[in-house]
Chains A and B, each alone.
Chain A
Amino acid sequence: MKYRVSNICKSYGDLKVLNNVTIDFPENKTTCILGPSGCGKSTLLNIIAGILDKDSGEIMGFGDETISFVFQEDRLIEWKNVRDNLRLVLKGKMDKKTIEATIDKYLESVNLKEYKNYYPRDLSGGMKQRISILRAFIYPSKVLIMDEPFKSLDINNKRIVMDFLKRLKAMEKRTCVLVTHDVEEAIALADRIVILSDKPSKVKKAMDNLYVYNQSKENEIYMKNEIESVLMD
């Protein structure tokens, strides 16, 4: 496996957050890390991203890759319009002409070209998060890390943004790591679901998401029941 975290431990003082967490991340697939709120999912994500140091364990593959991110908040710069926000992460990574062509290509492919001159204040929460996701896909990376990207959205916007993400994922192959506490999100987006226990977190179960391969109601219900029984266990 190219991307793997192995036996990761992390404590904040006396509080042990992660306890020997080992997860494999299949290449070009979406792995969803699911667990109760505050169990240390974001800590694990920050360790993978290199924002946070681990106490022990090993991280394989991620350190050598360029990684893009989608955060809980959109993290758009309010005085820059959509185009300039996208341009910011590409500066220095390619020449000006290529930057403009890349932005145009992506905006066009997701039918957002008309919003290119909009400022964040003119966009709804869902639209801002779509731009944040687009920024992650525009950035030339092989890995995409998402930390509860739908957390601040209402149900309608959540569905729209999830569909938007699916569309982009279908367009481009990326190894995605999605952290969420929402079972529905995990079933809708993940190829593989890893369920963490409460603090100190360890992997309770890792399973392939049958719903992604066959999007039938039965599979959805089966996965939901399976996940909930593991979470409650």
Chain B
Amino acid sequence: MKDFTLKDKKLSTISKVVLIGIWIILSAIVQNEVIFPTINSTFKSLVEIVKDPDFINIIVSSLLRSLCGFLISLFLAVFMGILSSVSKLIYNMMIPILGFLSSIPTMAIIILALIWLHNEVVPMFVGFIMVFPILYETVQKGILNVDKKILEMCKLYKVSRETIIRDIYIPSIFINISMVFDSALSTNLKMVIAGEALSQPKFAIGSSLQIEKMYLNTSGVFAWIIIILLISKLLSYIMKVVANFTKVNRWM
């Protein structure tokens, strides 16, 4: 799987250049900084944002919120996923909860969260309701999809239950999680920022985006989007470095 990929660096670079070209052309046609800012003004806004003394605080706060929410989701997903795989009762109790989370509009849950929760907690909660079901189902898949033939082999060779859990079930859970980790982490970050835009905590990327929107500073909004993109890329890169360093997927 690893050997075969459609990814082509050259084509991807051309696509990026084309997108920038479209941006330049559109901003030249529109000629209105409020509706569609130019690259120049976006870059100026970007420099202003980065120079702001609160910039680091804003980034760190959002990342911490995102990380906290993600870790809570991950821990609960692993915990509940394992419990629901061994208990029919919990498995069935989780079905309506997951159904509720996937069918109710996210905005409705966010509004309820805004009423019930502190504005510092709302972004984490928003991230949680999006990411928890993905991670929970991944954990369950990791447990239920363990090859029955491997389990039969272990039974015949009288491999102890502890060894089966430690050497087969737990790796299977984490292998499955590692496959969605990157996308779950970036979905979580996006949802946390969306939650921040609504709940307006003091230091937050989402709050900053909302402020730029209020002042009709579209170039500021574009600048924040670029910052979010860079953060996402950085997180993705860190994940890759960690995966390479720990050699977690060396068998793939």
Chain A residues proximal to chain B, CB less than 8 Å: 49, 51, 66-69, 71, 73, 75, 77-81, 84, 88-89, 91-93, 119-121, 139
Task: Point out the residues of chain B lying under 8 angstroms from A84, CB to CB.
Answer: 167
Residues of B within 8 A of A49 (CB): 156
Q: Answer yes or no: B153 CB below 8 A from chain A CBs.
A: yes
Partner of B153, one of A75, A78, A91, A119: A75
Choose, from B23-31, B157-165, B228-236, the stretch at the interface.
B157-165
Taking a contact as CB atoms under 8 Å apart, the answer to whether A80 and B153 are in contact is: no
When distances are taken between beta carbons in the complex, the residues of chain B under 8 Å from A68 are 157
Additional A-B contacts beyond A67-B156, A75-B150, A78-B251 (15; CB < 8 A): A49-B156, A66-B158, A69-B153, A69-B156, A73-B149, A75-B147, A77-B150, A79-B171, A79-B175, A80-B167, A84-B167, A88-B157, A92-B159, A120-B251, A139-B157
Instruction: List the A residue with the shortest CB-CB distance to B1.
Output: A121
Chain A residues touching B, majority SS:
loop
A40–B147 Cα gap in the complex (Å)? 24
Report chain B residues within 8 Å CB of A51: 152, 156
CB B160 to nearest CB in A, in angstroms, measures 5
A28 to B159, CA, bound (A): 25
With beta carbons under 8 angstroms apart, the residue of B163, B250, B252 that contacts A91 is B163
Cα distance, A69 to B159, chains bound together (Å): 13
Complex formed: what's the CA distance from A69 to B157 in Å?
8
* Chain B residues within an 8 Å CB radius of A77: 150, 167-168
> CA–CA, A81 to B157, complex, Å?
18
- Tell me if B153 and A71 are in contact (CB < 8 A): yes
Quick one: closest A residue to B154, CB to CB?
A: A88
Question: Given A71-B149, A75-B149, A91-B163, are A121 and B157 also a contact pair (CB < 8 Å)?
Answer: no
CA distance A75 to B171 in the complex (A): 16
Closest residue of B by beta carbon distance from A78: B251
CA distance A77 to B160 in the complex (A): 16
Q: Considering the chains assembled together, what is the distance between the CA atoms of A80 and B168 in angstroms?
A: 10
Q: Is the CB of B251 within 8 A of A91?
A: no
